[in-house]
Amino acid sequence: MDVRTLMRRSAGFYADQEAVVHADVRLTFARAWERGLRLANGLLALGLEPGDRVGVLEDNCLSAADAYLGLTAANLVRVPLYPRNTREAHAHMLGHTGCKAVTTTVPYADTVVGLERELPALDHVLVRDDGYEGWLATQPAKDPDPPVRESDWYIIRHTAGALAALFALVFLAWPLARAVEGISSLPDRLLLVNAGDALATTHRAIGPHAERTPSPGFAVRIGGGDHR
């Protein structure tokens, strides 16, 4: 089963239960999924296509939950960036993974705005500023439901710290499947990782890395709380 189906089912099964908490904002599973669908449709309307890679640069915030759900709903590949990194490191990660867009919150906008003029593949730098909520409300709430194949990528997560410039880890959209189709075409320094896999360096073991979607699916407490 793919990650998006798990999320969609959770939005239905636990529709009225609390899913996202941020400061005084509380969203049910249904409401959180709706916001994710609106973001998904907004991104697809820009010309992004399923399978395109999108960088995300943010702290824990309400719109971060939107991005987590919305990119999955659109079958876009999430490429998390690290807020503490430099502009040069962001450029490397975005360029290395061929991101076509990057979305960020206001505090980090200056570290990525303008990179679309430096990176050939990057077409959009999207800043979630004061106009974000108004823009989101105008986007359709219909599920775009693009097909998800077993070989589709879900997230590309770079290694932390000094190794970030060396390689990235690829996680599949089907965490319960061991799809190997297309592995020969992986870009240099990208590693294909399935759920439960472990990686080891000469210094320490890393794993298991694959993101899990726990039942009931995508409950998350942000803004100083626990992540589940």
- This prediction's pTM: 0.76
How far apart are alpha carbons 138 and 148 in whole angstroms?
26
pLDDT band at 215 (very low <50, low <70, confident <90, very high): very low
- Please give the C-alpha separations between residue 39 and each of 45, 64, 79, 128, 132, in angstroms, as whole numbers: 10, 11, 16, 11, 10
Q: Where are the domains of the chain?
A: 3-155+216-222
Tell me which CATH homologous superfamily contains domain 3-155+216-222.
ANL, N-terminal domain (3.40.50.12780)
Residue 145 structure tokens: 């439901």
Say if residues 161 and 181 touch (Cβ distance below 8 Å): no
Of the chain, the end-to-end C-alpha distance in Å amounts to 20
Q: Give the mean pLDDT of 160-171.
A: 54
**14-70 tens-digit pLDDT:** 999 999 998 899 999 999 999 999 999 999 999 999 999 999 999 989 999 999 999
Residue 75 structure tokens: 């079958």
**74-116 tens-digit pLDDT:** 999 999 999 999 999 999 999 989 999 999 999 999 999 999 9
